[in-house]
Amino acid sequence: MTPVHSSSPADVPQLGLRERKKIKTRTAIRDATYALIEEQGYEATTVEQIAERAEVSPSTVFRYFPTKEDIVLTDEYDSVMQDELRARPADEPWMESVRHILHRALDVSEADHEITRLRAHLMIQVPAVRARMMESMSVTGRLLAEVIAERAGRDADDLEVRVQTMSLIGGLTEVYQYWAENGMRDDLHGLTDRALHVLEHGLPPKKP
Amino acid sequence: MTPVHSSSPADVPQLGLRERKKIKTRTAIRDATYALIEEQGYEATTVEQIAERAEVSPSTVFRYFPTKEDIVLTDEYDSVMQDELRARPADEPWMESVRHILHRALDVSEADHEITRLRAHLMIQVPAVRARMMESMSVTGRLLAEVIAERAGRDADDLEVRVQTMSLIGGLTEVYQYWAENGMRDDLHGLTDRALHVLEHGLPPKKP
DNA sequence: TAGCTTTTGAGAGCTACTCTCATTTTATGG
DNA sequence: CCATAAAATGAGAGTAGCTCTCAAAAGCTA
């Protein structure tokens, strides 16, 4: 859900020079982007500026990332989440498994909490980013659906499975949005638990 | 959810000439857009072409619609739905109310089923359109939240209310997507009922 | 070192979208 | 009915995201 971008430069030793350079360029572009956005904001930052600071040509930027939004938003963590979900005991209720990996994902994102916050900020400020984020959430949803389908003994293309999954994604996206709108003060773990409770048992009556 | 664009030209008599012309221009742009998209596809259709066929200048097109996607997607029906939802008996369980207005909305969209299908098609073909549609769904969600909050005796800004609402929206969006992907053969009413059942009672076990 | 493949940069081109300013069109008040 | 204000339009210039092509540079293989 929330990614890591700053890869330690030493953890890929056996790769060829070509591959290593690619990774370097990729992170250079991302870092340049994050820096510029914090200085000037998202819209004010042009791809040309990004290219300049990353010391590559604009063409190269687009070779690495299809759109400007993707520079900020791409995770490589979807499949990791999927694997972790699969690693949970097969007889565990899937909602319980989801709860587990969500909290794990939150732990990871806390390590990168600068970026988590920047993204949250962009999400409520920049419509294009929000839209792109929803896109990527629905991709995550597809992966989730496969695992949920396994557990439920159903097909991943099942309407029921897909609806269940995307309703989950929708609810969780709203948690993030809520958190961002309220100044990122609340504890995301707590909010997530409240959300999962609603999704499992429906709206509890009254309270305020 | 799905809008009407072709407004009968006679149902706005007491409006000034100015207002009438505006409406005419608006629908001219929309009709031109729909026609061109069916002839050439979405991407191949430029705003310049749209302007030409609608007999206005490109500037005017952008004065009426902020983005190209909006020409295809803007509904004026959100507030109508909200009103209808409010008109339901106050003691009716809100899920039941939602079911009612969804089926009503589907009836309306059947009247315009050309456009409903075109949109569904664009939704699975054009990422930008899909993204924009999700945006507009989440706006609908905000309106829904207000009514659901009333019924549940809660605040519309409540995390619980917002999560419930957006999970509903997420699930329903997936119904539309499912329908589009499967050649728009199924009955949307039936699919919607199945979705609502999942959202209310969770994933039923096994079946295929 | 030679020859092959991959990556990069330069640059041209398209289109969505914005802004400004002059011109036309509609509304209004005397 | 005309003069004047207000609103809508068109023309045009400009920005930026994004695509494509082609030739030069860099890494790989023998």
Q: Which of A131, A174, A194 sits opposite B135 (nearest CB)?
A: A131
Sign (positive/negative) of CA torsion A139, A144, A147, A152?
A: negative
Residues of B whose CB is below 8 A from A148: 203
Written as tens digits, the pLDDT of chain B (208 aa) is 444 444 434 444 567 889 999 999 999 999 999 999 999 999 999 999 999 999 999 999 999 999 999 999 987 788 888 889 999 999 999 999 999 999 999 999 999 899 999 999 999 999 999 999 988 988 899 999 999 999 999 999 999 999 999 999 999 999 999 999 999 999 999 999 999 999 999 988 765 5
The conformational region for residue A92 under phi > 0 = left, psi -120 to 50 = alpha, else beta, is: beta
Task: Look at residue A206 in the predicted model and tell me its pLDDT.
Answer: 63
Task: Look at residue A31 in the predicted model and tell me its pLDDT.
Answer: 97
For the CA atoms of chain A, what is the radius of gyration? Answer: 19
Written as tens digits, the pLDDT of chain A (208 aa) is 444 444 434 444 577 889 999 999 999 999 999 999 999 999 999 999 999 999 999 999 999 999 999 999 987 788 888 889 899 998 899 999 999 999 999 999 999 899 999 999 999 999 999 989 988 988 899 999 999 999 999 999 999 999 999 999 999 999 999 999 999 999 999 999 999 999 999 988 765 5
Task: Look at residue A5 in the predicted model and tell me its pLDDT.
Answer: 42
For the CA atoms of chain B, what is the radius of gyration? Answer: 19
Question: What is the three-state SS of chain B?
Answer: CCCCCCCCCCCCCCCCHHHHHHHHHHHHHHHHHHHHHHHHCCCCCCHHHHHHHHCCCHHHHHHHCCCHHHHHHCCCCHHHHHHHHHHCCCCCCHHHHHHHHHHHHHHHHHHCHHHHHHHHHHHHHCHHHHHHHHHHHHHHHHHHHHHHHHHHCCCCCCHHHHHHHHHHHHHHHHHHHHHHHCCCCCCHHHHHHHHHHHHHHCCCCCCC
Q: Which of A177, A191, A206 sits opposite B154 (nearest CB)?
A: A206
- CA distances to A32, A38, A93, B127 from A96, rounded to whole Å, are 39, 37, 5, 32
Q: Which of A159, A199, A205 sits opposite B191 (nearest CB)?
A: A159
Q: CB-based burial of residue A171 (10 Å sphere; 0-12 exposed, 13-18 middle, 19+ buried)?
A: buried
Nucleotides of C under 7 A from a protein CB: 6-11, 14-20, 26-28
In B 42-71, which Cβ lie closer than 7 Å to strand D?
A: 55-60, 63-64
In B 16-55, which Cβ lie closer than 7 Å to strand C?
A: 16-19, 21, 45-48
Q: Does at least one atom of strand C sit less than 7 Å from the CB of A22?
A: yes
Q: Do B135 and A135 touch (CB under 8 A)?
A: no
CA of A126: which chain B residue's CA is closest? B135
Cα–Cα distance, B63 to B127 (Å, whole number): 24
Sign (positive/negative) of CA torsion A98, A102, A103, A107?
A: positive
Cα–Cα distance, A135 to B131 (Å, whole number): 7
Chain A interface, mutation test: which of B70, B163, B207, most A Cβ atoms within 10 Å? B163
pLDDT tens-digit readout, B73-131: 987 788 888 889 999 999 999 999 999 999 999 999 999 899 999 999 999 999 999 99
DSSP A184: T
Q: Residues in chain A, how many?
A: 208
- How many Å apart are B162 CA and D12 C1'? 46
Q: Assign 3-state DSSP to chain A and report helix, strand, coil percentages, each to 5.
A: 70, 0, 30
Cα–Cα distance, B197 to B208 (Å, whole number): 17
B71: closest CA of chain A, how far (Å): 17
Chain A residues whose C-beta is within 8 A of a chain B C-beta are 127, 130-132, 134-135, 138, 148, 152-155, 158-171, 173-175, 177-178, 191, 194-195, 198-200, 202-208
What single letter denotes the amino acid at residue A200?
Answer: E
Say if CB B159 and CB A194 are below 8 A apart.
yes
Cα–Cα distance, A33 to A54 (Å, whole number): 8
Q: Which of B155, B171, B205 sits opposite A166 (nearest CB)?
A: B171
Cα–Cα distance, A135 to B86 (Å, whole number): 31
Residue A70 is encoded by which pair of tokens?
């993707």
- How many Å apart are B188 CA and C27 C1'? 48
A203: closest CA of chain B, how far (Å): 7
Return the residue matching tokens 């969006």. B173
